[in-house]
Amino acid sequence: MEVVIRPNADAGADLVARVIAQEMRMNPRLVMGLATGNTMEAVYARLVQMHCEEGLDFSACRTFNLDEYIGLSINHANSYRHYMNHHLFLQVNIDLKNTHLPDGMATDLVAECANYERLITEVGGIDLQLLGIGQNGHLGFNEPLSALRSRTRVKILSPVTRAQNAPLFPRPDLVPQRAITMGVGSILDCRRCILLATGEEKAAIVARAVEGPITSMISATALQLHPECTLILDEAAGSQLKESDYYHWVFENQPEWAPFRAASPSIGKNGFQTKPKLGGKAVEAMSDVLE
Ligand code: GLP
């Protein structure tokens, strides 16, 4: 595991987006694992910006999202399909047929989970998995006690997770109780993992995930078993790490990080200059998908 600490949240998201872009340029048919949540919005905004300004090409890549709520249709404002269409898919030149999320409306949820794993296997596995972290240390919706070898399956959401995600719903009781999520084992099978965490409220769980013992109580600790995993943090999220001097030293001195040390010029004091907006073709395409 490698830890990179950037000065602020925008610089963290910028670095994640540039690592993704580098992988996409090396392999245009990249299979990406994607995540949702507030933290990821800045990453997707930056990728959209790179698509618009630098021609970053999504036409051949394939995506698999970590999770989806059970019981929300794809046109529900809180479904992760809606989130992904809005923040990324409809703003870049990805083929929507190549974008995958578990179907939270499936009548046979067990079959849906098995099918999701099969689809990932059929494309040869996930090359680059993007991850956030929940306040209880979950990856995707791998709540406490998720088996370290678990595969895509139905999980009951914990009260902590439902409370964390409640502000996005009209009422707290409308947060679904269950979700389909890729398992910890499915995530560990991905070739490379990049986790982004920002903000002081993530500092304690990040410290436990990185420097604490591996435990199924905190799914993110399983990343210590992954041979190619990078955690990208802002100063606030990294503020409780004991070895932060060492992590800073690695980023400042190792040659593979040299191209990434200077922040993108588009990051000003107030964050990114370009914020994606939905309009024109994107809105038309969205209506097609959601019909
Ligand atoms: C949800 C998602 C997770 C994500 C988490 C973090 O629970 N299922 O995959 O990591 O949110 O969200 P945020 O970035 O809003 O803190």
- Active site members: 67, 136, 138, 143
* List of residues 6+ apart from 89 with CB closer than 8 A: 63, 96, 99
Taking the whole predicted model, whether its pTM rises above 0.95 is answered as no
Q: What are residue 197's DSSP bridge partners?
A: 233
* Separate counts of helices (H) and strands (E) for the chain: 9, 12
**Cα–Cα nearest to 131, from 43, 9, 69:** 43
Higher pLDDT, 285 or 145: 145
* pLDDT tens sequence across 27-72: 999 999 999 999 999 999 999 999 999 999 999 999 999 999 999 9
Q: What are residue 266's DSSP bridge partners?
A: none
198 CB within 6 A, ligand 1: no
141 CB within 6 A, ligand 1: yes
Using DSSP, state whether 57 is helix, strand or coil. coil
Task: Give the Å distance between the CA of 231 and the centre of ligand 1.
Answer: 15
33 CB within 6 A, ligand 1: no
For residue 1, pLDDT beyond 50: yes
* pLDDT tens sequence across 189-232: 999 999 999 999 999 999 999 999 999 999 999 999 999 999 99
pLDDT band at 271 (very low <50, low <70, confident <90, very high): low
